């Protein structure tokens, strides 16, 4: 991460370049769920101000394929259908 860029600028650049799974972005930047979620809430507002959108593709269960419908930014802990913890997504991108 460049010292001249803030963490939020770094996240915005990454999300403009490609779609990221919440967990991959979090691990890559070494952030907690809470901090990344707060950054994303802030980013959601700041990109809207310049006419862009933070797009969210909902999470799904790797075990049974259950699709989460809530537009929560952070990944759910486990599947309400099969109790599996292997949750994929949510995926994020700025368009």
Residue choice 1, 17, 35, 82 for contact with Zn ion (CB under 5 A): 82
Rounded (to 5) percent helix, strand, coil in the chain: 40, 15, 45
Task: Give me the DSSP letters along 53-70.
Answer: -EEEEPPEETTT-PBP-S
Determine the interface stretch with Zn ion among 8-16, 27-35, 36-44, 54-62 (rule: CB under 5 A).
54-62
Sign of the Cα torsion 90, 69, 47, 18 reads: positive
Residue 56 makes contact with Zn ion by CB under 5 A: no
Determine the interface stretch with Zn ion among 29-37, 39-47, 48-56, 59-67 (rule: CB under 5 A).
59-67
Residue 61 makes contact with Zn ion by CB under 5 A: yes
Kindly list the residues in this chain that would bind Zn ion in the complex (CB under 5 A): 61, 63-64, 66, 79, 81-82, 84
């Amino acid at each position: 991460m460049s010292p001249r860029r803030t963490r939020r600028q770094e996240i915005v650049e990454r999300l403009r370049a490609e779609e990221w799974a919440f967990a991959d972005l979090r691990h890559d930047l070494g952030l907690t769920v809470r901090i990344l979620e707060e950054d994303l809430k802030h980013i959601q507002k700041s990109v809207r101000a310049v006419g862009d959108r933070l797009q969210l593709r909902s999470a799904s269960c790797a075990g049974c394929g259950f699709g989460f419908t809530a537009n929560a930014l952070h990944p759910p802990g486990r599947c309400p259908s099969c109790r599996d913890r292997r949750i994929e997504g949510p995926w994020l991108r700025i368009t």
